[in-house]
């Protein structure tokens, strides 16, 4: 890791009519790190991603990607970025290889290196046996792997992953995490938006929690948990009336709480003497998110 | 960055346009049979039906005139529907614009591809007409170029319409209120001189009519300085609609 920034946002604002999708966002992504944008649907994650490829133009603020000022020099920045979109936009009537061939041209890979680049991408996505199959014959997981391979065909310095595992079953998600993890260990800079806590916790060096277009907390997942939710949480189960009582008592004791259906979580209990009886568990990033934003997350 | 700093425009890079063309070419390999079939069968049936009307070789008139309509049908329609599908449903343009390609290059590449196809498919009615009695001439060599030029304008027209459209239904207005009248006022099936004066004036400003006349003058070796004006008119048509198409797609693709 270095102090050099692959992405630098300062006060980025993006409005759609009366809606402010990104609201004064600051974001630093150091070279060689994996940063997770964590937030619920509508938090502004995808808009932030679009700002970084100049497919959305900021109304205010400064954006730099790989040292290139956006939107003016976005094309130079995009040449060194790989983008994995949230929604599948592969050419479904083309084969795996043909999709990669098209993007090897779009990313201007020299003719002499094209074949090798496609081969590398096919192997990386583990699609060797399906290379001549049309995309509409592939499973959802294979298509997602191909999307990642397509984004990496030109060996980008920066990869933008917009909800890379959304809608996939747990097994496929694990496969993709291994793929992203391998990329990360090779030193590629990654910015990944997600609304999966586990994904952010597992893959990201640092996490920016977003809510309503703003960054509400930023740091390594473990530090965020420790800072905002302490080490341990007590879960108290009971009927609604009892939970309401516990909530009041916790508030009076200066403790923060989180309602989770049939229980209430009391945060930061490790630092306080307290009278609460319940199940102890380690605090996690989800506690932090709900605490800071008031929104539940998957 | 100023609050409203625009994404850089006005600089076309050959690798970006080539990338767009390669994508179209690779895709074409998966649907060329159906596309070629429909472009060939239609004029063949038409040619066999109208090769002689009232004992006269009507094929000379229609066989050359339908080159322009073939160009229209293989450029404006694919541009409208194809562009709309690619940005609205397939999100293909999102993928392309994430690569080092700008909207200007995307539109240019798409229009060049569609125009090239139109230039080729536009020749099919003429080739069919040759089989039904149209005499060969060296001027026929100009027909693909004329078809390409006219196809470029109509491709830009279709992309522009797709850029302004919010749904497929919007195309009905364009087909009924713009393309069908232009088709009828092109002088394809009957000379404009047989129409009322107002229709003749509309026909003269109709780019499709200029294409019809250029093709006929080339095939029958009647080329004159007027045809230079017609070609210039088609160039102007293509250029103006190119810029409007870029503007329309920029609005659609860049938030």
Q: SS3 for A248?
A: helix
Give me B78's structure tokens. 């694919």
In angstroms, the separation between the Cα of residue A59 and the nearest Cα of chain B is: 5
In angstroms, the separation between the Cα of residue A254 and the nearest Cα of chain B is: 43
Q: How confident is the model at residue B48 (pLDDT cuts 50, 70, 90)?
A: low
Q: How confident is the model at residue B245 (pLDDT cuts 50, 70, 90)?
A: very high
Judge whether residue B49 has pLDDT over 70. no
Distance CA B101, CA B12 (A): 9
What pLDDT, on a 0 to 100 scale, did the predictor assign at position A251? 83
Contacts of A71 in chain B (CB under 8 A): 1, 5-8
Q: How confident is the model at residue B1 (pLDDT cuts 50, 70, 90)?
A: very low
Whole-Å CA distances, B237 to A25, A175, B68, B84, B247: 44, 53, 15, 22, 16
Task: Identify the residue among A48, A51, A89 best suited for mutation to test binding to B, counting B beta carbons within 10 A and taking the highest.
Answer: A89
Instruction: Report which of residues B31 and A261 the model is more confident about.
Output: B31
Mean pLDDT of chain A: 88
Task: State chain A's maximal CA–CA distance in angstroms.
Answer: 72
Q: How confident is the model at residue B52 (pLDDT cuts 50, 70, 90)?
A: low
Closest residue to A89, CB basis, from B18, B27, B92? B92
**Closest alpha carbon within chain A to B109:** A106
In eight-state DSSP terms, residue A110 is: -
Q: How many CA atoms lie within 13 A of A169 on its CB side?
A: 5
Task: Residue A45: name the closest of A192, A203, A190 by CA.
Answer: A192
Judge whether residue A58 has pLDDT over 90. yes
Task: Identify the residue among A55, A66, A68, A160 best suited for mutation to test binding to B, counting B beta carbons within 10 A and taking the highest.
Answer: A55
Tell me: the pLDDT tens digits for B90-135?
899 999 999 999 999 999 999 999 999 999 999 988 888 888 888 8
Judge whether residue B11 has pLDDT over 80. no
Judge whether residue A206 has pLDDT over 60. yes
Show Cβ contacts of residue B149 under 8 Å, excluding neighbours closer than 6 positions.
Answer: B115, B231, B234, B235, B238
What pLDDT, on a 0 to 100 scale, did the predictor assign at position A176? 84
Q: How confident is the model at residue B181 (pLDDT cuts 50, 70, 90)?
A: confident
CA dihedral over B203, B237, B87, B38, signed as positive or negative = positive
Q: SS3 for A180?
A: helix
Geometric angle at alpha carbon A71, from A3 and A76, rounded to 5°: 70
In angstroms, the separation between the Cα of residue A74 and the nearest Cα of chain B is: 7
Q: How confident is the model at residue A271 (pLDDT cuts 50, 70, 90)?
A: low
Judge whether residue B208 has pLDDT over 50. yes
Overall average pLDDT of the B78-87 stretch? 93
Nearest-Å Rg of the Cα atoms of chain A is 22
Q: How confident is the model at residue A270 (pLDDT cuts 50, 70, 90)?
A: low
Overall average pLDDT of the B184-202 stretch? 84
What pLDDT, on a 0 to 100 scale, did the predictor assign at position A241? 84
Q: How confident is the model at residue A275 (pLDDT cuts 50, 70, 90)?
A: low
Mean pLDDT of chain B: 87
Q: What percent of chain B has pLDDT over 90?
A: 50
What pLDDT, on a 0 to 100 scale, did the predictor assign at position B10? 45
Overall average pLDDT of the B183-188 stretch? 82
Closest residue to A57, CB basis, from B7, B99, B101? B7
Overall average pLDDT of the B212-233 stretch? 92
Contact B86, B93 (CB under 8 A): yes
Tell me: the pLDDT tens digits for A156-167?
999 999 988 887
Query: What is the CA A265 to chain-centroid distance, rounded?
Result: 26
Cross-chain residue pair A102–B253, CB shorter than 8 Å: no
Under 8 Å CB pairs connecting chains A and B tally to 114
Cross-chain residue pair B253–A55, CB shorter than 8 Å: yes
Q: How confident is the model at residue B156 (pLDDT cuts 50, 70, 90)?
A: very high
Cross-chain residue pair A105–B18, CB shorter than 8 Å: yes
Most confident among B97-111, B120-134, B164-178, B195-209 (mean pLDDT): B97-111
Chain B: which residues have CB within 8 Å of chain A? 1, 3-8, 13, 15-16, 18-20, 22-23, 26-27, 30-31, 90-92, 94-102, 253-255
Judge whether residue B54 has pLDDT over 60. no
Geometric angle at alpha carbon B71, from B65 and B77, rounded to 5°: 130
Give me A110's structure tokens. 């020299």
Cross-chain residue pair A91–B90, CB shorter than 8 Å: yes
Judge whether residue B5 has pLDDT over 50. no
Contact B217, B224 (CB under 8 A): yes
Nearest-Å Rg of the Cα atoms of chain B is 19
Distance CA A49, CA B120 (A): 41
Judge whether residue A298 has pLDDT over 80. no
How is the beta sheet containing A5-16 ordered, strand by strand?
A19-30, A5-16, A60-65, A68-70
**Closest alpha carbon within chain A to B17:** A106
Geometric angle at alpha carbon B206, from B204 and B209, rounded to 5°: 75
What pLDDT, on a 0 to 100 scale, did the predictor assign at position B9? 41
Contacts of B16 in chain A (CB under 8 A): 75, 106
Distance CA B63, CA B168 (A): 32
Judge whether residue A1 has pLDDT over 70. no
Instruction: Report which of residues A269 and B122 the model is more confident about.
Output: B122
Q: How confident is the model at residue A78 (pLDDT cuts 50, 70, 90)?
A: very high
What pLDDT, on a 0 to 100 scale, did the predictor assign at position A28? 94
In angstroms, the separation between the Cα of residue A200 and the nearest Cα of chain B is: 24
Q: For A112-126, A250-264, B98-112, B156-170, which range has the lowest pLDDT when averaged over its residues?
A: A250-264
In angstroms, the separation between the Cα of residue A98 and the nearest Cα of chain B is: 7
What pLDDT, on a 0 to 100 scale, did the predictor assign at position A234? 85
Task: Residue A99: name the closest of A86, A117, A81 by CA.
Answer: A117
Q: H/E element holding A232?
A: strand A232-237
């Amino acid at each position: 890791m270095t102090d050099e920034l692959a992405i630098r946002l300062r006060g980025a604002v993006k409005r759609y009519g009366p809606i402010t999708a990104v609201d004064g966002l600051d974001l630093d992504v150091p070279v060689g790190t994996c940063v997770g944008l964590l937030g619920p649907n509508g938090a502004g994650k995808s808009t932030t991603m679009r700002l970084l490829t100049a497919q959305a133009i900021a109304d205010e603020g400064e954006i730099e990607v790989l040292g290139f000022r956006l939107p003016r020099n976005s094309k130079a920045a995009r040449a060194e970025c790989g983008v994995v979109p949230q929604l599948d936009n592969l050419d479904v009537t083309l084969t795996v290889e043909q999709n990669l061939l098209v993007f090897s041209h779009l990313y201007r890979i020299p003719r002499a290196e094209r074949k090798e680049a496609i081969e590398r991408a096919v192997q990386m996505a583990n699609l060797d046996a399906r290379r001549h199959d049309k995309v509409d014959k592939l499973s959802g997981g294979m298509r997602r792997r191909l999307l990642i391979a397509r984004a990496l065909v030109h060996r980008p310095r920066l990869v933008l992953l917009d909800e890379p595992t959304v809608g996939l079953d747990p097994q496929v998600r694990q496969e993709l995490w291994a793929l992203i993890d391998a990329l990360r260990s090779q030193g590629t800079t990654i910015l990944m938006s997600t609304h999966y806590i586990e994904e952010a916790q597992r893959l990201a060096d640092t996490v920016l929690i977003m809510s309503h277009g703003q960054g509400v907390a930023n740091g390594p997942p473990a530090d965020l948990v420790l800072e905002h939710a302490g080490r341990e949480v007590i879960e108290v189960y009971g009927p609604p009336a009892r939970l309401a009582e516990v909530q009041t008592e916790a508030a009076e004791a200066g403790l923060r709480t989180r309602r989770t259906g049939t229980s209430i979580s009391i945060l930061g209990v490790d630092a306080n003497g307290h009278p609460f009886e319940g199940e102890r568990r380690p605090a996690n990033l989800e506690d932090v998110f709900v605490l800071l934003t008031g929104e539940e997350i998957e | 960055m100023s609050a409203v700093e625009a994404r850089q425009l006005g600089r076309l890079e050959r690798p970006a346009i080539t990338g767009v063309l390669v994508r179209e070419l690779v895709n074409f390999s998966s649907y060329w049979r159906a596309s070629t079939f429909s472009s060939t069968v239609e004029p063949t049936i038409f040619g066999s039906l109208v090769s002689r009307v009232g004992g006269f070789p009507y094929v000379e008139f229609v066989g050359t005139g339908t080159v322009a309509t073939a160009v229209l049908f293989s450029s404006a329609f694919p541009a409208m529907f194809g562009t709309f599908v690619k940005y609205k449903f397939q999100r293909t343009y999102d993928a392309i614009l994430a690569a080092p390609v700008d909207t200007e290059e995307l539109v240019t590449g798409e229009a060049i591809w569609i125009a090239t196809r139109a230039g080729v498919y536009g020749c099919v009615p003429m080739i069919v007409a040759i089989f039904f009695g149209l005499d060969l001439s060296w001027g026929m060599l100009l027909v693909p170029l004329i078809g390409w030029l006219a196809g470029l304008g109509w491709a830009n027209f279709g992309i522009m319409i797709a850029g302004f459209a919010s749904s497929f239904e919007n195309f009905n207005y364009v087909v009924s209120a713009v393309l069908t009248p232009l088709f009828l006022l092109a002088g394809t099936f009957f000379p404009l001189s047989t129409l009322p004066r107002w229709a003749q004036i509309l026909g003269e400003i109709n780019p499709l009519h200029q294409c019809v006349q250029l093709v006929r003058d080339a095939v029958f070796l009647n080329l004159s300085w007027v045809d230079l004006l017609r070609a210039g008119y088609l160039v102007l048509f293509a250029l103006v609609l190119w810029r409007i198409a870029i503007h329309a797609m920029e609005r659609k693709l860049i938030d």
